[in-house]
A and B are shown apart, each in its own frame.
Chain A
């Protein structure tokens, strides 16, 4: 019946072409929009997931109240000369060795890095700038993040284990007005400011990180903070980043420390991704639905117009299932041809978009060009959506045609 189906399609070139165009545009739109959005999302996710810990264990920032010490002894009441005003003077992981042993023993943990996170003031000459100093062991830090990839000057490991060296975000360095190899002063608010030499510059593309973060060795940061041997965070990388939430929940149940998975830290960004996906899918589905209605209408009209043909075919021994195939095949041909052409058009649009120059280093770009996802699943999904929509819209008219009896058509004069 494929021969006859093709003949039917070619005999109505304009109609067939219009339907085909609808399917091609729908499929191409899905591929192009998905390629662009998923490219952006993949890049952003890569930065979110791999630039930082999958799970962060932080010291709980508890507020001290006037009744906080009453629990020591139920019979006694503590009377304060001056009641506590709120936060404890410094937060720390209470029992880091216990965590280290636990993480070492966990098969899901790939690496972890103890850190000291400190709000500081960077100072050079008369310029001051607030920011965040992260004290970390360079070897361990490199295992949990891909910071080394973003180094534009020097190497991350140059911060060493001591010696007051820092690597600093490009924009933060510009704000301070310093250069590589220069020394800047860093103050944590405790004790006098300490001189740190800039040994490296990084640029991740995330403004938040680049204009407010610097890294130094763990010991140097602990000294600056005035709390030697204390750590405030443990950054953990696990085998499967998608299981971070589950793992964090498991650890949370057995500790007082704050345990946060990356999905929880970036919940707002992930919800934006979900919104993007909804918009992308509904847009494409709308286009495909319009094309499907076109197929349904045209095939329904065709079945009515071709009643005489159906009668003659049935009188020649063609079965009802042959008649169903005759009309169903037309939807199949349109779906397959439209779907494949739409994929090629979509890939071409993606390639064109991939040539668009945007600011280098920014999120969603690489070497200054827009990141486009060429994930095969996009094509599989786009093709299946086009095919299912066309098949679904052809099955009803095809079944209606299959139910027609030759005698009914003949008696009605083929009307």
Chain B
């Protein structure tokens, strides 16, 4: 469970906060979308919740542990084992094949051998079993994003955060990504939080959060 208490985030000390006193609880197995206009603070809140940004006022607790109190080693361990992250621009490593990209988090803990069969299973679930050895340059935008999702799931994390995962995709590919999210949420119980500005995609979540000027409106 993730609990956010009274979160304020400023980019500069003197500027107005972009997140203003957010209170939020994310239960295990939740499937949440975060929507809002551009500049409403939805991506900023996602980075705060996902431990990538720890410079804020207030607290974010992972199973009761404050991420600001955790030492660096614990944070890196948390990011590696319990959190998966999907960026808008998929950010695959161009030098690595689809399979090697998926196995990248497992390299950190030398678990490539143990994780390889699961990586191949993920590849078949995202419909890219035949393209395991292809480099990102030989994959389409939708395929690259699916590989990025598989990479985020390889360590079977408790939480998956996605920042505009469908932002660069057409509706067919976008829906395919959302199908995958639903599938992993149901099959592995992965807690999924994704940011989108697309109402249609946002509606597919079980819990919907709308941010307006840094405050949760609904």
Contact = CB atoms under 8 A, between A and B. Distances in A.
Query: Is A bound to B?
Result: yes
Interface in B87-121: 87, 89, 91, 93-96, 104-105, 107-108
Given A322-B108, A407-B52, A316 B80 contact: yes
Given A316-B105, A414-B89, A7 B76 contact: no
Given A317-B80, A318-B76, A407-B52, A308 B105 contact: no
A312 B52 contact: no
Contact of B76 (A3, A319, A410): A319
Contacts of B206: none
B95 A7 contact: yes
Contacts of A317: 76-81, 105, 108
B8 interface: no
Contacts of A154: none
A43 interface: no
B53 interface: yes
A8 B105 contact: no
A318 B93 CA distance: 14
B47 interface: yes
Contacts of A4: 93, 95-96, 107
A160 interface: no
Contacts, number: 59
A411 to B, nearest CB: 8
Q: Most chain-B Cβ atoms within 10 A of its Cβ — which of A4, A322, A414?
A: A4
A10 interface: yes
Interface in A293-321: 308-309, 311-319
A406 interface: yes
A11 interface: yes
Given A406-B52, A410-B52, A316 B91 contact: no
B108 A318 contact: yes
A406 B80 CA distance: 14
Given A317-B77, A317-B79, A318-B76, A309 B47 contact: no
Contact of B93 (A312, A315, A319): A312
Interface string A231-260: 000000000000000000000000000000
B9 to A, nearest CB: 11
Given A315-B52, A319-B72, A406-B52, A309 B107 contact: no
Q: Top 7 closest A-B pairs, CB basis?
A: A317-B80, A317-B79, A7-B95, A11-B95, A312-B91, A316-B105, A317-B76
Interface of B: 47, 50, 52-53, 72-73, 76-81, 85, 87, 89, 91, 93-96, 104-105, 107-108, 151
Given A316-B104, A317-B108, A322-B108, 4 more contacts: A7-B93, A312-B87, A317-B105, A410-B87
26 contacts: A3-B107, A4-B93, A4-B107, A8-B95, A11-B94, A308-B89, A308-B91, A309-B91, A309-B93, A311-B87, A312-B87, A312-B91, A312-B93, A315-B52, A316-B85, A316-B104, A316-B105, A316-B108, A316-B151, A317-B78, A317-B105, A317-B108, A318-B80, A322-B108, A407-B52, A410-B87
